[in-house]
Amino acid sequence: MIIRNFIRDYNLHTIEASIGETRNMKINAVYLASAVNDEVKNHIHQKMQEIENEDIYDLGELARFFQKGHLSLFPQSLLTERPDQAAARLRSGKVVIFFDHHTFCIITPIQLFESFSSNEDRSFTVKWNYSFVRLLRFVGVFIGTLLPALYVTLVAFHPELIPTKMAITIAQSRSQIPLDAPTEALVMLFALDVLVEASIRLPSFVGQTIGIVGGLVIGTAAVEAGLVSNIMVITIAFTAIAIFMVPYWEFVATWRLLRYLYVIAASVLGLYGMTLAVGWTILHLCKLNNLGHSYLSPVVPLQFKKLFHFFYPEK
């Protein structure tokens, strides 16, 4: 196993199970006994015994089998094909699960802050670059998730909060638009996600062209036709760029879904609805517990030293 080239430790334990009707598919759960906590260890042992009666053929199905809280919007595991990343997560108390004939492996349990980190961050020779990139990702998620809802809130419900000159500019750009601000935002978000999904599914040499050309053509044509305002196009474009600063696609998909919920909440109750939706998200994250690990660790409970070293590396 490649992982043993990175961690040569007798505490590296492996649990093996066979699944499927013919019992010819193997699953291996690997963990570092000196790092993993008892709740995670017991949960993995229990699931490895139960899985022998299951028919699973995909990594996504396998990841869902090992996690708790299936109704949550937030992922509780990650997929990676990099052995160095898997080894680093093992040292931090995670479990890595390998599945026959798959080049990717599953890392579980995962906390929210880990979605903002990437192994490439450690390649910086200047620590402040490391801090800047991670802080930039937090700002990007904040902008990419809340900006469309904030636009709807200010334009449709609270224009008095917009500076006078900006309010005049927005009013002029929307003077001939037949759609109200909430519908305009939802239509543009839907168009953006259609372009993103289409560019992902198409061959690589076509997908990038479709994404760029399609975005430019549709955005320009929509503005010239008077269907959407140019301010809305700028907002959605900046939103799309900001959200993709998150290194892991599974978390990007979560924030994309939350964007719609925030826009709908803002469309109903304005700033109050947006505040309630954000508050509900925070409460859900505070309550979410992933195999004995708080999902908002090291913020809840507050561990100042770990939080500091998340933004500024210890070594």
Q: What is the pLDDT of residues 137-149, one digit of tens each?
A: 999 999 999 999 9
Beta-carbon contacts of 6 under 8 Å, excluding residues fewer than 6 positions away, are: 83, 84, 86, 87
How much is the CA Rg of the chain, to the nearest whole Å? 23
Q: Which pLDDT belongs to residue 206?
A: 62
> Looking at 110, 141, 171, which one is the last position of a domain?
110
Q: Say yes or no: 18 and 158 in one domain.
A: no
Contact status, residue 57 vs residue 64, Cβ threshold 8 Å: no
Q: Say yes or no: 198 and 141 in one domain.
A: yes
Q: Is the peptide bond before 178 cis (omega within 30 degrees of 0)?
A: no
**pLDDT, tens digit (0-9, with 9 covering 90-100), for 45-101:** 888 888 877 778 788 888 888 887 667 889 888 888 888 888 888 888 889 999 887
Judge whether residue 238 has pLDDT over 90: no
0.85 exceeded by the pTM? yes
Contact status, residue 252 vs residue 244, Cβ threshold 8 Å: yes
What is the rounded CA–CA span in Å between residue 303 and residue 297? 8
Q: Say yes or no: 102 and 195 in one domain.
A: no
Nearest Cα to Cα of residue 95 among 49, 42, 25: 42
- What stretches of 51-126 show up as alpha helix (H) in DSSP? 59-66, 83-91
Percent of all residues in the chain with a pLDDT value above 70, rounded to a whole number: 93
Q: Which pLDDT belongs to residue 152?
A: 92
Residue 268 belongs to a domain: yes
Q: Say yes or no: 298 and 160 in one domain.
A: yes
Buried b (16+ CB within 10 A) or exposed e, 175-192: eebebebbebbbbbbebb
Residue 188 belongs to a domain: yes
> Looking at 50, 84, 110, which one is the last position of a domain?
110
273 pLDDT tier (thresholds 50, 70, 90) = very high
Beta bridge partners of 19: 25
Residue that is written with structure tokens 């800047």 in the block: 132
**pLDDT, tens digit (0-9, with 9 covering 90-100), for 168-192:** 888 888 888 888 889 989 988 898 8
For the beta carbon of residue 135, count every other beta carbon within 10 angstroms.
12
Buried b (16+ CB within 10 A) or exposed e, 137-163: beebbebbbbbbbbbbbbbbbeeeeee
Residue that is written with structure tokens 């109050």 in the block: 272
Residue that is written with structure tokens 């700002």 in the block: 139
Q: Is the peptide bond before 159 cis (omega within 30 degrees of 0)?
A: no
- DSSP states along 187-211: HHHHHHHHHHHHHHHS-HHHHHHHH
Judge whether residue 256 has pLDDT over 80: yes
Q: Would you state the torsion angle of the CA atoms of residues 178, 181, 186, 191, taken in this order, to the nearest 10 degrees?
A: 60
Judge whether residue 210 has pLDDT over 70: no
Residue 211 belongs to a domain: yes
233 pLDDT tier (thresholds 50, 70, 90) = confident
Beta-carbon contacts of 260 under 8 Å, excluding residues fewer than 6 positions away, are: 186, 189
Which residue segment(s) compose the domain that 35 sits in? 3-110
**pLDDT, tens digit (0-9, with 9 covering 90-100), for 8-44:** 878 888 888 888 665 578 888 888 888 888 888 888 8
Q: Say yes or no: 49 and 180 in one domain.
A: no
Q: Say yes or no: 94 and 132 in one domain.
A: no
Residue 205 belongs to a domain: yes
Q: Say yes or no: 127 and 101 in one domain.
A: no
> Looking at 58, 86, 110, which one is the last position of a domain?
110
Provide the residue type at 224 as one letter.
E
Q: Say yes or no: 77 and 136 in one domain.
A: no
Domains identified in the chain, total number:
2
Judge whether residue 207 has pLDDT over 70: no
